[in-house]
Amino acid sequence: MAHQYQHDVLIIGSGASGLSLALQLAEHARVAVLSKSALTEGATYYAQGGVSAVLDTCDSIDSHVEDTIASGAGLCKPDIVRFVVEHGRESIQWLIDLGVNFTKTRDAVGNFEYHLNQEGGHSHRRILHASDATGRAIETTLESRVREHSNIELFEHHSAIDLITAEKLGMASNRCLGAYVYDRKQGRVQVFGARFIVLATGGAGKVYLYTSNPDTCTGDGIAMAWRAGCDISNMEFVQFHPTCLYHPDAKSFLISEALRGEGARLLLSNGEPFMQKFDPRGELAPRDIVARAIDHEMKRRGDDFVYLDISHKPREFIIEHFPTIYERCRKFGFDITRDPVPVVPAAHYTCGGVVIDKRGRTNLPGLYTIGEASCSGLHGANRMASNSLLECVVFAHSAYQDICQQLHEVSLPCSLPEWDESQVTDSDEEVVVSHNWDEIRRFMWDYVGIVRTSKRLQRALNRIRLLQQEILDYYGNFRITDDLIELRNVSTVAMLIIESAIQRKESRGLHYSLDYPETDNKHPPRDTVMSIYTFKGRHEAA
């Protein structure tokens, strides 16, 4: 029997949520952290904007709560929103104590204080940032700390395939026991057992053709949790960031919302501003409104992009506040201090995910989910800018507290079954994987994008059902590869988004349907909750 890894806690994912949790748990437990690529290669590293928290004396907890709930279009859970917002200041302090170097400025009397940005949906300046590369500052600081800790074992270039549950092993009482993990460099499957397993795998932007997300964001945690029997909620709410750089080589480089917070304007190709036609808040309206406005104008005029213009601000101000964006745009031939830059919306953030409580617990004992892979009730139908990094740190801490209380009550699982490859062969048809991957991302962009119709959604559902059967057959006959693992997960997430969107017979937040353009105010707002058990029963009956 091959060697099996055993730890007190297995954390799958190495972004802000996963590494924050690992650092706190390592004082009490042996922790394994899996990263499917290099440790820092995830959405956190590329986050530009910042972390929202009430730090200004002119601001208040109530105001931050009200702004978040307003952005969430009736689906936020007020107790969760208040819980996260109230822990904002201490979360920021924890990051500062770790060594995150947030940007400071001089106040009126010459003393240094933290500089706060304002972004869409926020009524006050409350975005703490590290220049325009906040995620990188947080991720690299966390990375340096976890690499130093003797109680944290890091497994880079390891992809989780599936969770191991007691139910799957025929045991009477169900619990998550570990995971099958693919060592991407060795090309073999390993077994990891743990007292507690945490999914911190991030979002699913790569299910769409155009996305601001890095290649690692394929919805792995959501798909694994679904297959293990966890409830999944609100997958129809996919946030499209309004302003990604339009250039064939830019790979949807994100232009931070902070530019609009500092006065950048959105313009048509003829130089005409247009946001005031759609919302009195103009460029500072929530992301769903801005993205739909851009999409509407592009389709109305037949344009491939709109412009974002901050060139009316002083050159020194722009370079000081947005050095990363300035340099990256220069690389592609745009000088944001002199000219507007072309931008388009791109899939950015998954507001739905694995249903969790305030402690990060899922409905599968022993399994936690934190960060973008989760659905806690913080974001509702639309995430407000810069609440995501705050959510990562707050829920990492609450999960840490809950796990610590149970560490000595749960035994390590005994020897788990090895991965069975006895019935499969090496594939001679890898082209099937690449073609299916490409087709999913294209029809998701065309049919399940910023603006939807019932006909488009049904067309997407027909395609995903056929492709899922093809992928299942392929998965059952050939050995695991990186691309096959991700394709299987992307197809699952695509199905969850489509099915959830079909169930919602209204427009709300990030879900906008031409067939149901109004918000249903006759009934209480509802979450779209899906369970694999009811899902299978419904489809078998059909």
Q: What is the CATH number of the domain that holds 255?
A: 3.90.700.10
Tell whether 177 and 269 lie within a shared domain. no
Tell me if residue 281 falls in helix, strand or coil: coil
Tell whether 77 and 106 lie within a shared domain. yes
Yes or no: say if 146 and 23 are a contact pair by the CB < 8 Å rule. Answer: yes
Among 136, 260, 287, 504, which one carries the catalytic annotation? 287
Residue 47 belongs to a domain: yes
- The DSSP line for 483-529 is HHHHHHHHHHHHHHHHHHHHH--S-BTTB-BSSS-S---SS-----E
Tell whether 127 and 270 lie within a shared domain. no
Number of domains into which the chain is organized: 2
Tell whether 338 and 398 lie within a shared domain. no
Residue 142 belongs to a domain: yes
Instruction: State the Cα–Cα distance between residues 279 and 533, nearest whole angstrom.
Output: 42
Q: Give the pTM.
A: 0.93
287 catalytic per annotation: yes
Q: Tokens 């009524």, residue?
A: 123
Tell whether 133 and 270 lie within a shared domain. no
pLDDT-flagged residues of the chain (< 50): 541-542
Backbone φ and ψ for 322, nearest 5 degrees, come out as: -130, 55
Q: Tokens 């690499």, residue?
A: 147
Tell me if residue 394 falls in helix, strand or coil: helix
Q: Tokens 């400025």, residue?
A: 105
Specify the pLDDT at position 536: 64
Tell me if residue 59 falls in helix, strand or coil: coil
Specify the pLDDT at position 159: 98
Residue 534 belongs to a domain: no
Q: Which of 411, 44, 402, 343 is nearest to 193 (CA)?
A: 411
Residue 398 belongs to a domain: yes
- Parallel, antiparallel, or unpaired: how do β-strands 188-199 and 176-183 relate? antiparallel
Yes or no: say if 68 and 384 are a contact pair by the CB < 8 Å rule. Answer: yes
- Parallel, antiparallel, or unpaired: how do β-strands 529-530 and 232-233 relate? antiparallel
Burial of residue 132 (number of CB atoms within 10 Å: 0-12, 13-18, 19+): buried
Specify the pLDDT at position 538: 56
Tell whether 55 and 188 lie within a shared domain. yes
Tell whether 337 and 387 lie within a shared domain. no
Residue 61 belongs to a domain: yes
Specify the pLDDT at position 287: 83
Tell whether 167 and 60 lie within a shared domain. yes
Instruction: State the Cα–Cα distance between residues 357 and 80, nearest whole angstrom.
Output: 9
Specify the pLDDT at position 542: 45
Tell me if residue 195 falls in helix, strand or coil: strand
Instruction: State the Cα–Cα distance between residues 175 and 367, nearest whole angstrom.
Output: 8
Instruction: State the Cα–Cα distance between residues 51 and 130, nearest whole angstrom.
Output: 9
Instruction: State the Cα–Cα distance between residues 49 and 390, nearest whole angstrom.
Output: 12
Instruction: State the Cα–Cα distance between residues 14 and 179, nearest whole angstrom.
Output: 16
Residue 213 token pair:
């997300």
Tell whether 85 and 134 lie within a shared domain. yes
Instruction: State the Cα–Cα distance between residues 129 and 445, nearest whole angstrom.
Output: 31
Residue 444 belongs to a domain: no
Domain hosting residue 28, numbered range: 10-195+355-370+382-409
Residue 475 belongs to a domain: no
Would you say how long the chain is, in residues? Answer: 542
Tell whether 16 and 71 lie within a shared domain. yes
Residue 530 belongs to a domain: no
Tell whether 312 and 401 lie within a shared domain. no
In this structure, what CATH number is given to the domain that contains residue 98? 3.50.50.60
Instruction: State the Cα–Cα distance between residues 446 and 469, nearest whole angstrom.
Output: 22
Tell whether 40 and 127 lie within a shared domain. yes
